[in-house]
Amino acid sequence: MNLEIKIIKESLGILILASVISTLGGIGLHSVQERILAILPLLIIFPALNGMVGNSGITFVSRYTTLLQQKKLGKKKLMNKALREHFLLILKVAVIAAFYISTLSMIIASLKGFKFDPFLYIKILAITTITTISLVLLIALISIVAGRYFAKKKEDPDNLLIPITTSIADLGAMIIFSLLTFIFF
């Protein structure tokens, strides 16, 4: 019983914070909703982009907290060799996925009658790639800083970092995607 209460106490506040953060992202999307609805590939790509970035963050957090719990991370450097290699692998996979989902969204939109335009495709690819790289970097940095903080407080970083990173991915994807959509369109 004590374990369940501890988990609830550790998780409840962070889950509420995560929900509030995710909800705030809708404001950014609302400001460009007409542009997104008018450009079918953007509408198609957003859920895939949001999920991909969130999953990349969770994968990084998982490896980071494992190395943290095993005490394999140095105290002075942000990343040791194993974490740096893992981060670069996640970044490469995320960029490839950004290309893949951009291309797939254009194909699906074309099959639905949306006119293919190479210049539009390049803009969508740029939006997706910039959003992806920015968020993977941001999530990694926040995970490291917050993970060390939670570990010093003797709290389980897994319980706290996973909801935080998914919320940052949601909010960040909405804000960066909206901002870039506004700039490019």
* pLDDT tens-digit readout, 112-133: 888 889 999 999 999 999 999 9
Q: Higher pLDDT residue, 180 or 37?
A: 180
Contact 143, 97 (CB under 8 A): no
What is the tally of helices (H) and strands (E) in the chain?
Answer: 6, 0
Could you tell me the residue ranges of all domains in the chain?
27-70+77-184
How confident is the model over 84-95, as pLDDT tens digits?
899 999 999 999
pLDDT category of residue 175 using cuts at 50, 70 and 90 = confident
Residues of the chain above pLDDT 90, percent: 34
Q: Higher pLDDT residue, 20 or 109?
A: 109
In this structure, how many other beta carbons lie within 10 angstroms of the beta carbon of residue 29? Answer: 16
For domain 27-70+77-184, is the CATH number 1.10.357.20?
yes
Give the pLDDT of residue 77.
72
pLDDT exceeds 80 at position 7 = no
Q: How far apart are CA 117 and CA 40, in angstroms?
A: 12
Q: Return phi, psi of residue 51, to 5°.
A: -65, -40
pLDDT exceeds 90 at position 79 = no
